[in-house]
A and B are shown apart, each in its own frame.
Chain A
Amino acid sequence: MSISTEKRPPTVLMKGIVKRFPGVVANQEIDFRILRGEIHSLLGENGAGKTTLMNLLSGVYQPDVGEIYVDGQQVSFRSPRDALDHGIGMIHQHFQLVNNFTVAENIVLGMPGPIHLDLAITEKTVDDLSSRYGLAIDGRARIWELSVGEQQRVEILRMLYRNIDVLIMDEPTAVLAPQEIERLFAVMRLIKNEGRSVVFITHKLEEVLEVSDYITVLRRGKVMSTVRPEKVKGKDRAVSRELARMMVGREVILEVGKESCKTDRPLLSVERVSVRGDRGELAVKDVSFSVKVGEIFAILGVAGNGQRELVEALVGLRSMESGQVLLENGDIIAGLERVAYIPEDRKGRGCLPDMPLLENFALTRREQFTVGPLMRWKTVAEKARQCIWDFNIAAPSISMKARQLSGGNLQKLILAREFSQKPFLLIAEQPTRGLDIGATEEIWKAILHQRQKGGILLVSGDLKEALSLADNILVIFRGQVMDIISCEDEDGIADIGPLMAGVRRKR
């Protein structure tokens, strides 16, 4: 299959788009256009409507009001397949790949052809495309064997195999290390130079400025403006202020006051810990670090580099292969009631979505509410109401179900629950993932306030978050400690990006 580069200019025009869901208008009267050979970014907070708009374009939904034109012709996409047939394809945040299949099988899936499946031809084409665009993917590999970054490249390959003209990518950089992000941008530019178009959905301001030809900012379902990056670039870091203001509607400077309260008293001591992952391989290799009372210690790394397994070992949910962990000079397992753990998967692990807030509140605090074999629900209710008030959680009643809370409020509830145990050590995994700026600010302030009572181990994939909150940052890659950098070490900080991608600095 050859990829032709002389195609008619794919223009996409969306006019007057309105899309409603139960309880919310996701897109209000949106006009949006894409030109040939451009990278057009859709910028906005979570819930602004960016994904919905592109879902409409890629055929997942149909608009309630409005028209879509491709190359001047009005179209109505009934399904993603329709859109693909018109040259429009979308790569979602959750990849649409079959884990047990090989790359070639995933790519050839749904393509017309003879009944007998000859994968060799597909594998050859995959190899060709892969080298042409610098994607480095082996057609014979199974998806579950690939890293997240590689899986994303398989998705891109699949779109290129189908010769799409418009490639939409939804938050592609959320799962990538800085080096991989650069590589992605290079691929995007290559695609653009062939006359195709790329729509880049994101909420990250810096990336948008780096790679876009045009930026459209959405807020609460409406288009705020469409600009070229040069217009909003400035000479200093205050650059993004303009865009941030458009995104959020007010001046948002995401900085929180941080004075160090670090003491010298030992809180947590992790010595030469190794942990096995789900597939039997060593997910954590020989990791050592220590946290002092009053300190916020960050473990920074792209998701999937062993952080989850390490934390599970610390709280006793997974056994350690070797090494030891001490909580203030005693074995941590013995002192677990002084440890609070906020898991990254708040809907999956951290709460009970279909049960009332009341019962969610008691989840990790059962001992404190028990008299003999009985639960004192009245006491739980009192404490719960208290915490809802203290943490300013928007919850009208404690009998509402947890899944009815917004992401930010749910996270605050979990925080409140764990904080109210007055833990000595708090382990927080990706506490602000998926939250908008307002909620992130609140969570950061709460965490900073908490460290006065003990110490905090923060696990994050967001460099900004780590820099804003932590005293020390441990960069983890493939289960190993790349380096531990103090937040006052400016040279060290500059190296963090490469470290996260596995590139050790030269000394």
Chain B
Amino acid sequence: MESAVILIAKITIASSMAVLYATIGEIFAERSGVLNLGVEGMMLIGALTAFATTESFQSLWVGTLAAMLTGGVFALIHGFFAITLRVNQVVSGLALTLFGIGLSDFLGRPFIGKVSLKFEPFGLFPLDKIPVVGQVFFIQSALVYPAYLLVPLAYIFLFKTRYGLQLRAVGENPSAADTVGISVFATRYLYTFIGGALAGLGGAYLSLSYTPGWKEQMSGGQGWIAIALVIFAMWDPLKAAGGALLFGFINAFQFYCQAAGLTVIPSYILRMLPYLFTIGVLAVITHWKAAKKRVGAPEALGIPFEREQ
């Protein structure tokens, strides 16, 4: 039997994945200057699509890819309104969330309670033989392993490549980017799509791996937590991983207490912890950044772009 520490660590990793994918996705979108509050909606659509497609095609990977595609397309709806029509991005994002929740509720009825294929955890040979670290990190479901590559690659892309520089420029000063020939619209559409695809992947992880099956609003607010984590991470993929792990740890801790029958902290407070923790973390980070006077948000975040008239 595994020790409690290793168990908690494993569950931490597993609990942080959905939020991690969504956060990295939203970082990309926001780095291009598009604020997409529809993450919760995109995750749900992704979760439903993944489950339904897997069921129809009897293939987990088809389901996953379908979820990413749908998530991306869904995000493009918001993208169209935010980028081309230049509407208020907060309202548009909220509309997307409502739309996503409603649509997934509506279309998901037939799938409630159904059981289908799921990703089982397996050991990644030979890494899983490393003591402690191997057990924790490399005996996970197949949808976890891509994250190990995604985080460092996202970081390198953003800060060490020419295209990452262009992406960041579009989010900081789209007018400057436009002047040197970067297409602001194309960039924003692309990364909004990527943001949606990753959120969809997070949703797929939920319905195909973490809590297999479909239930209404099964993401339980993780889309919103992702949005908060983007701020906590200061739009940096590495810090986002850290934040997601913290969130996962709180969840794991709560599971463990409930499973082990520890009643020192009442269960309803335990269940509130992830949300309270996120608020607390957000408050600390914002206050700290305000004191530092150099806030990390892309300067043009949420502001539509138009060549000056």
Residues of A bordering B, CB below 8 Å: 21, 60-61, 79-81, 84, 94, 96-101, 105-106, 108-111, 113-117, 278-280
Q: Across the interface, do B161 and A115 meet the contact criterion of CB distance under 8 Å?
A: yes
Chain A nearest Cβ from B183, distance in angstroms = 9
Chain B residues closer than 8 Å to A97, beta-carbon distance: 173, 176
Q: Name the contact of B163 in the complex, choosing from A84, A96, A111, A115 (C-beta under 8 A).
A: A115
10 A-B pairs closest in CB distance: A81-B181, A110-B180, A96-B176, A96-B179, A98-B172, A98-B173, A80-B179, A110-B181, A115-B161, A117-B162
Chain A nearest Cβ from B82, distance in angstroms = 21
In the complex, what distance in Å separates the CA atom of A116 from the CA atom of B175?
24
Chain A nearest Cβ from B33, distance in angstroms = 12
Query: B55 near A: Cβ within 8 Å?
Result: no
Q: Across the interface, do B172 and A101 meet the contact criterion of CB distance under 8 Å?
A: yes
Chain B residues closer than 8 Å to A81, beta-carbon distance: 179-181
A-contact 0/1 string along B272-308, CB 8 Å cutoff: 0000000000000000000001000001000000011
Chain B nearest Cβ from A506, distance in angstroms = 39
Query: B9 near A: Cβ within 8 Å?
Result: no
In the complex, what distance in Å separates the CA atom of A81 from the CA atom of B181?
4
Query: B216 near A: Cβ within 8 Å?
Result: no
In the complex, what distance in Å separates the CA atom of A98 from the CA atom of B184?
14
Q: Across the interface, do A109 and B166 meet the contact criterion of CB distance under 8 Å?
A: yes
Chain A nearest Cβ from B164, distance in angstroms = 8
* A97-B173, A99-B299 given; 14 more Cβ-contact pairs under 8 Å: A61-B307, A84-B181, A98-B168, A98-B173, A106-B176, A110-B169, A110-B177, A113-B162, A115-B161, A115-B162, A116-B161, A116-B162, A117-B162, A117-B165
In the complex, what distance in Å separates the CA atom of A105 from the CA atom of B173?
13
Chain B residues closer than 8 Å to A110, beta-carbon distance: 166, 169, 177, 180-182
A-B contact list, 7 entries, CB within 8 Å = A96-B173, A98-B169, A105-B165, A110-B182, A116-B162, A117-B162, A117-B165
Q: Across the interface, do A80 and B161 meet the contact criterion of CB distance under 8 Å?
A: no
Chain B residues closer than 8 Å to A105, beta-carbon distance: 165
Determine which residue in B162, B168, B182, B308 has the highest number of CB atoms from chain A within 10 A of its CB, and name it.
Answer: B162
Chain A nearest Cβ from B235, distance in angstroms = 11
Chain A residues closer than 8 Å to B181, beta-carbon distance: 79-81, 84, 110
Query: B263 near A: Cβ within 8 Å?
Result: no
Chain A residues closer than 8 Å to B166, beta-carbon distance: 109-110
Chain B residues closer than 8 Å to A114, beta-carbon distance: 162
Determine which residue in B160, B163, B178, B181 has the highest number of CB atoms from chain A within 10 A of its CB, and name it.
Answer: B181
In the complex, what distance in Å separates the CA atom of A278 from the CA atom of B179?
29
Q: Name the contact of B299 in the complex, choosing from A61, A100, A109 (C-beta under 8 A).
A: A100
Chain A nearest Cβ from B145, distance in angstroms = 25
In the complex, what distance in Å separates the CA atom of A81 from the CA atom of B186?
15
Query: B3 near A: Cβ within 8 Å?
Result: no
Q: Across the interface, do A98 and B176 meet the contact criterion of CB distance under 8 Å?
A: yes
In the complex, what distance in Å separates the CA atom of A115 from the CA atom of B164?
9
Smallest CB gap from A106: residue in B? B176
Residues of B bordering A, CB below 8 Å: 160-166, 168-169, 172-173, 175-182, 293, 299, 307-309
Q: Across the interface, do B293 and A278 meet the contact criterion of CB distance under 8 Å?
A: yes
Q: Across the interface, do A109 and B180 meet the contact criterion of CB distance under 8 Å?
A: yes
Q: Across the interface, do B176 and A109 meet the contact criterion of CB distance under 8 Å?
A: yes
Chain B nearest Cβ from A51, distance in angstroms = 10
Chain B residues closer than 8 Å to A96, beta-carbon distance: 173, 175-176, 179-180
Q: Across the interface, do A109 and B175 meet the contact criterion of CB distance under 8 Å?
A: no
Chain B nearest Cβ from A27, distance in angstroms = 14
Also in contact, A116 and B176, with CB within 8 A (given A79-B181, A80-B181, A110-B166) = no
In the complex, what distance in Å separates the CA atom of A162 from the CA atom of B163?
19
Q: Across the interface, do A84 and B293 meet the contact criterion of CB distance under 8 Å?
A: no
Chain A residues closer than 8 Å to B161, beta-carbon distance: 115-117
Chain B residues closer than 8 Å to A108, beta-carbon distance: 162, 165
Q: Across the interface, do A101 and B299 meet the contact criterion of CB distance under 8 Å?
A: no
In the complex, what distance in Å separates the CA atom of A21 from the CA atom of B1?
76
Chain B residues closer than 8 Å to A21, beta-carbon distance: 309
Chain B residues closer than 8 Å to A100, beta-carbon distance: 172, 299
In the complex, what distance in Å separates the CA atom of A101 from the CA atom of B298?
11
Determine which residue in A61, A80, A108, A114 has the highest number of CB atoms from chain B within 10 A of its CB, and name it.
Answer: A80
Q: Across the interface, do B172 and A99 meet the contact criterion of CB distance under 8 Å?
A: yes
In the complex, what distance in Å separates the CA atom of A107 from the CA atom of B209?
46
Chain A residues closer than 8 Å to B168, beta-carbon distance: 98, 101
Q: Across the interface, do B178 and A280 meet the contact criterion of CB distance under 8 Å?
A: no
Chain B nearest Cβ from A498, distance in angstroms = 33
Chain B residues closer than 8 Å to A115, beta-carbon distance: 161-163
Smallest CB gap from A61: residue in B? B307
Q: Across the interface, do B169 and A116 meet the contact criterion of CB distance under 8 Å?
A: no
Q: Across the interface, do B182 and A116 meet the contact criterion of CB distance under 8 Å?
A: no
Q: Name the contact of B293 in the complex, choosing from A61, A99, A116, A279 (C-beta under 8 A).
A: A279
Chain B residues closer than 8 Å to A280, beta-carbon distance: 293
In the complex, what distance in Å separates the CA atom of A97 from the CA atom of B169?
9
Chain B residues closer than 8 Å to A116, beta-carbon distance: 160-162
Chain A residues closer than 8 Å to B163, beta-carbon distance: 115
Smallest CB gap from A79: residue in B? B181
Chain B nearest Cβ from A354, distance in angstroms = 14
Smallest CB gap from A162: residue in B? B180
Chain B residues closer than 8 Å to A94, beta-carbon distance: 175
Q: Name the contact of B307 in the complex, choosing from A60, A98, A106, A117 (C-beta under 8 A).
A: A60
Q: Name the contact of A84 in the complex, choosing from B165, B177, B180, B299 (C-beta under 8 A).
A: B180
Chain A residues closer than 8 Å to B162, beta-carbon distance: 108, 113-117
Chain B nearest Cβ from A181, distance in angstroms = 24
Chain B residues closer than 8 Å to A113, beta-carbon distance: 162
Chain A nearest Cβ from B177, distance in angstroms = 7
Chain A nearest Cβ from B168, distance in angstroms = 8
Q: Across the interface, do A109 and B177 meet the contact criterion of CB distance under 8 Å?
A: yes
Chain B nearest Cβ from A115, distance in angstroms = 5
Smallest CB gap from A113: residue in B? B162
Determine which residue in A84, A101, A113 has the highest number of CB atoms from chain B within 10 A of its CB, and name it.
Answer: A101
Q: Across the interface, do B173 and A99 meet the contact criterion of CB distance under 8 Å?
A: yes
Chain B nearest Cβ from A282, distance in angstroms = 15
Determine which residue in A21, A113, A115 has the highest number of CB atoms from chain B within 10 A of its CB, and name it.
Answer: A115
In the complex, what distance in Å separates the CA atom of A110 from the CA atom of B184?
12
Chain B nearest Cβ from A59, distance in angstroms = 9
In the complex, what distance in Å separates the CA atom of A94 from the CA atom of B176?
10
Chain A residues closer than 8 Å to B172, beta-carbon distance: 98-101
In the complex, what distance in Å separates the CA atom of A436 from the CA atom of B202?
58
Chain A nearest Cβ from B248, distance in angstroms = 30
Q: Across the interface, do A109 and B165 meet the contact criterion of CB distance under 8 Å?
A: yes
Smallest CB gap from A90: residue in B? B179
